[in-house]
Structure 1
Amino acid sequence: MVRRAWLLLLCAALAAARECIELTLSDKSILTESLFNGTIIKLTLNDTIEDTPRYNILDIWDRFPRIVVPKNGTSEQCRRDSQRYVDSLEKLELWALKMFDATAKPPSGILSGNGNQYGDFDECLSVDGSVRGKYCLASLEISFNDLKYNHIDSLIHSGHYIRSNVTDMGHRVPRYSSLLWGVCIPSSCSSFDLEEELSQRLADLGMTVKVHNTMCTVKNRNRPYSFGKTLSITFFLAVILLLSLGTMLDDGKEGTTNFEKLLNAFSLKRNFKKVFDLSDAPTRVKGVDAFRGINAFALLIAHKSMAMAHNPYVNKVEYSAVFGMPWAVIGRSAILYTDSFLYLSGFLNAHNLLQDLERKGTIDVKNRLIGRWFRLFPLFLSLMLFCTYILPDVNNGPQWNLVVEEHSRVCEKTMWKSFLFIHNYFGFEEMCLTHTHQLGMDMQLYVATLPLMLVLVRSRTLGLSLILAVAVASTVLRYLAVHWYQISMFVYYGISVQKLLDAARYSYILPTHRATIYLIGVAMAYFMRTKKLNFVLSNTQVRLLWAACFALAAFTIVSPYEMGLEGYQYEPEQAASFATYSPILWGLFMCMAHWAICNNYAGLGTAIIELPVFKFFNKISYGVYLTQFPIFFYNVGVQRHAEYYSPILLVHAPEMLSILVISILTTVAIEMPFNQVYRIYFGKSQNKLKDK
């Protein structure tokens, strides 16, 4: 012992002088700390004494706590329960063993991305004796100060595909590079108690810890019963009653009174027949169904890839590697698919308004706005009420509080903004159902289109000049916003959560920044409706036209591929250029392809464009758009364990089937009936508006 003490003192002195010496020890490795500079000195058999980091990389595995309990909790009850847990664990009592067993342990495969460990959610909640179990999902972040550990840092954090920290919001954009760690503690302890305990025990390992209060769950926790919940249940019961009466009393005849027509509107037999009726509507515009269907599917896959980033995988590094490949640019350019919907919305809005002007010489603004409201709001309201007051009580899971209940809490506070269709002006952080930002933009652009069309019809020169001026102004705003806020409309590799949120707040969800391609659609509708683009092409010219279309589309999608590669360093000019030219080039592609289809220049492609599946999808597209994210987040919330990542999960059959079925049901049970209610009670036997 005397010899060891002298050796330790010698090591401390040598460390202070930055010298090295060979020592042979007969015992186990010794770890001590220099009194002079706090350097950790590790002595092993036949090893060289040298300065090392504050922690050894292997300490993350060796010293990570297996038993986590807040023995120094803020409440007396927490401290007593924690000590009882430790004492009972030593006695091998079953309830204590369950709490220990339910807490996550360092696994194999951390360098493959297997760092998110849920533990056993259900086993923790099953502890219900003298001490009840509380399940908390802690967020951990490892910091490596030495550059030589950069590669290890990347592997542990699954490639930093999306860079996050433990304080980032996670209910919309995932805290991708934070490690999620399930811990079972006594229910009398708070998230703060656990955070303090983990922070103290993991600080020496270079780890930062955050335990959000919303990420803790106890069994049979009763949510407060609110007026909103009562209203929601009443609303859905009323809809179910109307559907039941309408279906049972439907005799196949047209109603003569408004009440009979109302019941017929809620007849599931009639609505199912209509939704599967694939005959052409009189107001149908060729090509719109195919454009909408293809872009909706592409956007669905892009949204699914973002939802998947919430999930743990045993090979999460491979997930990052796949989305860092050049071909992944197809998904990273998802903004182009939303631009397609803006083009279609602008085209159809202008097309329908021009029809009104041709028939009546004016636009019935009041009925147009009411019709638009009935087209969008009933299903939108139903989804908000369901996700806010009903869905949180349906199930549970490790991330349920984050991706389901957190959305519910945000919606309770900010739903009124969605009622007014102004929710897209407040950023994703405080937006109810963030994927519905497009509805706000679409409604605002629709309202702006009404006076614009009146000007365009009365003065072609003034109207087109106004369209061009606004489109140019929108383009300039995008360019300046990207430069000023250092953001990107393209999801480049390694983008941070905060930059994604900033991009949404300062450009992506603002109609003033997205108006360019919408106005291209408006102008295209005007030129096609007024037959300004009627000319005949030869076969060679048709081939050249389609070659130009595909080249334009391919260039727009692929041009920013370097930004999607691993190791990319953000460049403002490159990001601003893409934000500037992409809507213009994509809009030109949409115009050229749309004109060719409408003028029967699609050739063999006509058979594909006219496939019945596109006509069917067009009828349920609004339901697909609204319901996909709640279904994605439901599945994220209930997932209990890590699975093996494979690209096939992007089109996971049960999930896609669920979206299809639920979209059909919401269409026939809510969207179609309320559209018919508008026709009945506002006295306008109008053709169904297809200007979504």
Structure 2
Amino acid sequence: MKFLCIFLVLILANFVNSDYKDLIHQMVKNAAKSENKTECDKALNKLLNNILHPKLDDLWGYKMIDSSSSIIPDGILLGNFGSMGNFEECLSIVSKDHTIKGQYCLKLVLPIPNLDKEFKELADGLIGYPVALCVPRQCSAEEINEKYKLFPDSHFYCHTEENRYPPMTKGVIATICFLCTMGLMMVLSTAYDVYCRQNGKAPASPALIAFSVYTNTLRLMDTKNKSDLSCISGIKFFSMIWIVLGHVFTGYLVSPFMNLIDILDYEKTTRAMFQHGTTFAVDTFLCLAGLLVVYNFLQAMQSGKKFNIFLFYLHRYLRLTPALAALILVTVYLLDYMGSGPRWALMRELFQKQCEKYWWTSLLYIQNYANEQNNICLSHTWYLSVDTQLYFFSPILLILLWKYPTAGITLLISATFGSMVAVAYLTYEYKLPALYNSILIWANLKDFTAKYYFKTHTRMSAYLIGAIAGYILHVLKGKKYHISRKLLLVIWTAMLALMLGCIFAGHDTMLGPEYRKWDHVFYNTFVRPTWSIFIAWMVVACVLGHGGIINSFLSNKIFQVLSRFSYSVYLIHFVEICLWELSRKTGVYFTEVGMLFDFWGHFMFSLIISYIWVLAFEAPVTALEKLLLR
């Protein structure tokens, strides 16, 4: 917090006695010294003349002043980073003779140009102070940088009405045609399906109704076939909600907030740990994935089915890839047309450019190792690479557990401890924090994701513990044994205590004034395996009849339906959140109540879009796969 206060005071000191006219005078003075007058120089002279000699019917110069940000906005010492002028007013400016049009230029600045490189990267991403100028469009970003000498280390990003949306390319047209074709197939398939139902006829081929909105919706809403593992539906649903909540707060880090200090104060509170702990939701999904792979395989083998490794891999790829590929296609070619604003260039950097370069590593599920540093197409989908890589190697474990159970369990336990040792070493060696948090100025946040958070070998303990739980379920299912109510109460109490401990235990470590290496090593090494043990126990207890009211709640039919949208919600929600935050054109005031409203808005919108995504890219593929493999 002291760092931020110093930062804000430095900004204030740099901007004292500066205003827009001073800056314009400075740029015009620089233009006057230039021997070769450029179009920008001429336009700046016109701007100064219009300001000094205004005409009532042609006040475009004053509109440029009005739409530029205040050099010293109110509340700067509270962390007002939301003063960005008026984007739309600037772009709408046209002089009476049509020779001058408005251009909005935004610069994110730091008060000390020669900051340490790593610290500068952190500060640029989190607290770059916005300075917005509305200038004639004849001036390029490079010319503005040259003429506007204040803070030369940072760069202006400029927008005009003409370049708000890029021209349509062949890729854009092809993507639109593809989506229209998918929509047409859904309409035709639905029409044929309804026709057959109304006339009491069977479809000529089930493939003809694979894209039917009507039939696929009925399948999505069906809750008649109750699974032994129905509690997993509730766990998946609430884990998905938790992930969305965490990403809503992550989205705030790129938002133009007017009270950044209040946000950082909130991050220090105990209740904020519930949001910092949303990373455990990913471990929940990994644990469930390992459990389901092992349990389903062993149950299938016990029933006499044969294991086909080709179909095993094909099913996985077809389950994940169509919906992901469609989102990548939309991100690369259509994202530019979904919004605009002062910070929209960051949206292109975070999503579009990454996917243009690294789309293929996403579709091969190797991006967490193949890509440079943190350059991942749709960064939140790193989890898919981890899960798929573990799934790819799982047949080794599956065959061992079926034929040589002791060897299989030994391998699972050994690999789990091996992963924990790797985490301990990396945390110790690279000074990794226990939590990825914007207030941890002393921590190595850059390596946290690149070396630890995104890597399969450091995240696989949850999957392996889930696999052990899947084996235990297979062995104990259908067998009679007795556990006293007192013992169950003790175990449940201990497990719930572990859960709360995982969420809140990192609070004191996070708030430490300096990096306490062994605290972070201990936390990172044990917290995710501990969380996974809690999830594994909850599933095993619920399936074996020891879940009580918890099992009844998690197995509710509504969660069976909602959990079927979890994959598409997972894919879509983070893009939607960033799209919303980075298209903001005015500052936002943070409150905890406002955050909850934002969360529910984002979640419900993502759920609606995911319904369309499931009907277009998940349900039809599932239906066609069943037809091909039956």
TM-score (norm 1): 0.81
Question: Aligned match of 1:65 in 11, 16, 19?
Answer: 19
| Count of aligned positions | 596
User: 5+ residue gaps in structure 1?
Assistant: 1-54, 146-162, 203-207, 685-692
In the other structure, the counterpart of 2:6 is none
8 Å contact kept, 1:427–1:504: no
The CA distance in 2 between the partners of 1:493 and 1:114, in whole Å, is 17
In the other structure, the counterpart of 2:177 is 234
In the other structure, the counterpart of 2:142 is 192
In the other structure, the counterpart of 1:545 is 491
1:558 and 2:492 aligned: no
Instruction: Report the more deviating stretch, 343-352 or 534-543.
Output: 534-543
* 1:658 Cα deviation after fit: 1.0
Which residues of 2 match residues 331-350 of structure 1 at below 5 A?
Answer: 331-350=275-294
Which residues of 2 match residues 485-504 of structure 1 at below 5 A?
Answer: 485-492=430-437, 494-495=439-440, 499-504=444-449
* 1:493 Cα deviation after fit: 5.5
The CA distance in 1 between the partners of 2:305 and 2:607, in whole Å, is 41
Q: What SS does the aligned partner of 2:171 have?
A: helix
In the other structure, the counterpart of 1:535 is 481
In the other structure, the counterpart of 2:618 is 671
In the other structure, the counterpart of 2:86 is 120
In the other structure, the counterpart of 1:418 is 362
Residues 167 and 515 of structure 1: CA distance in aligned 2, closer, same or farther (over 3 Å): closer
In the other structure, the counterpart of 1:310 is 254
* 1:405 Cα deviation after fit: 5.8
In the other structure, the counterpart of 2:4 is none
* 1:227 Cα deviation after fit: 4.3
In the other structure, the counterpart of 2:564 is 619
1:278 and 2:227 aligned: no
8 Å contact kept, 2:432–2:445: yes
Residues 428 and 290 of structure 1: CA distance in aligned 2, closer, same or farther (over 3 Å): farther
The CA distance in 2 between the partners of 1:414 and 1:602, in whole Å, is 44
TM-score (norm 2): 0.88
In the other structure, the counterpart of 1:477 is 422
Question: Aligned match of 1:94 in 59, 63, 66?
Answer: 59
Which residues of 2 match residues 68-83 of structure 1 at below 5 A?
Answer: 68-69=23-24, 70-71=27-28, 72=30, 76-83=38-45
In the other structure, the counterpart of 1:660 is 607
Instruction: Report the more deviating stretch, 448-457 or 181-190.
Output: 181-190
User: 5+ residue gaps in structure 2?
Assistant: 1-8
The CA distance in 2 between the partners of 1:233 and 1:534, in whole Å, is 58
The CA distance in 2 between the partners of 1:229 and 1:144, in whole Å, is 40
1:111 and 2:77 aligned: yes
* 1:268 Cα deviation after fit: 0.7
Instruction: Return the index of the structure with the highest Cα Rg.
Output: 1
* 1:593 Cα deviation after fit: 1.8
- What amino acid is aligned across from residue 99 of structure 1 in structure 2? M
What CA RMSD, in Å, does the superposition of the two structures yield over aligned residues? 2.7
8 Å contact kept, 1:139–1:180: yes
In the other structure, the counterpart of 2:381 is 436
In the other structure, the counterpart of 1:153 is none
- What amino acid is aligned across from residue 130 of structure 2 in structure 1? L
8 Å contact kept, 1:168–1:498: no
Residues 281 and 500 of structure 1: CA distance in aligned 2, closer, same or farther (over 3 Å): farther
In the other structure, the counterpart of 1:216 is 158
* 1:492 Cα deviation after fit: 4.2
Q: What SS does the aligned partner of 1:64 have?
A: coil
* 1:660 Cα deviation after fit: 1.8
8 Å contact kept, 2:244–2:574: no
- What amino acid is aligned across from residue 104 of structure 2 in structure 1? Y
* 1:672 Cα deviation after fit: 0.7
Residues 622 and 227 of structure 1: CA distance in aligned 2, closer, same or farther (over 3 Å): same
Note the alpha carbon deviations across 1:385-442, whole angstroms, 9 max, x for none.
Answer: 1121112112211122212464112211111111211112225642111011111111
The CA distance in 1 between the partners of 2:87 and 2:443, in whole Å, is 29
Residues 232 and 498 of structure 1: CA distance in aligned 2, closer, same or farther (over 3 Å): farther
Q: What SS does the aligned partner of 1:182 have?
A: strand
In the other structure, the counterpart of 1:9 is none
In the other structure, the counterpart of 1:370 is 314
Residues 220 and 478 of structure 1: CA distance in aligned 2, closer, same or farther (over 3 Å): same
* 1:225 Cα deviation after fit: 4.3
Note the alpha carbon deviations across 1:551-587, whole angstroms, 9 max, x for none.
Answer: 111112211111333x632223222211100122112
8 Å contact kept, 1:335–1:490: no
* 1:624 Cα deviation after fit: 1.0
The CA distance in 2 between the partners of 1:616 and 1:339, in whole Å, is 22
Question: Aligned match of 1:182 in 115, 125, 132?
Answer: 132
The CA distance in 2 between the partners of 1:568 and 1:280, in whole Å, is 54
Q: What SS does the aligned partner of 1:490 have?
A: coil
1:319 and 2:319 aligned: no
Residues 391 and 126 of structure 1: CA distance in aligned 2, closer, same or farther (over 3 Å): same
Say which structure is richer in helix. Answer: 2
8 Å contact kept, 1:427–1:501: no
Residues 248 and 587 of structure 1: CA distance in aligned 2, closer, same or farther (over 3 Å): same
Which residues of 2 match residues 382-421 of structure 1 at below 5 A?
Answer: 382-404=326-348, 406-421=350-365
Note the alpha carbon deviations across 1:90-120, whole angstroms, 9 max, x for none.
Answer: 2224222222211100221111221331110
Question: Aligned match of 2:240 in 292, 296, 321?
Answer: 296
Q: What SS does the aligned partner of 1:663 have?
A: helix
Instruction: Report the more deviating stretch, 650-659 or 488-497.
Output: 488-497
- What amino acid is aligned across from residue 572 of structure 1 in structure 2? K
Q: What SS does the aligned partner of 2:590 have?
A: coil
8 Å contact kept, 1:492–1:563: no
- What amino acid is aligned across from residue 422 of structure 2 in structure 1? L
Which of the pair has the greater relative contact order for Cα pairs under 8 Å at 6+ separation?
Answer: 2
Residues 117 and 165 of structure 1: CA distance in aligned 2, closer, same or farther (over 3 Å): farther
8 Å contact kept, 1:166–1:210: no
Identity %: 23
The CA distance in 2 between the partners of 1:450 and 1:363, in whole Å, is 10
The CA distance in 1 between the partners of 2:140 and 2:519, in whole Å, is 46
The CA distance in 1 between the partners of 2:45 and 2:444, in whole Å, is 44
* 1:340 Cα deviation after fit: 0.8
Q: What SS does the aligned partner of 1:645 have?
A: coil
Residues 551 and 290 of structure 1: CA distance in aligned 2, closer, same or farther (over 3 Å): same
In the other structure, the counterpart of 2:462 is 517
Q: What SS does the aligned partner of 1:495 have?
A: coil
* 1:57 Cα deviation after fit: 8.2
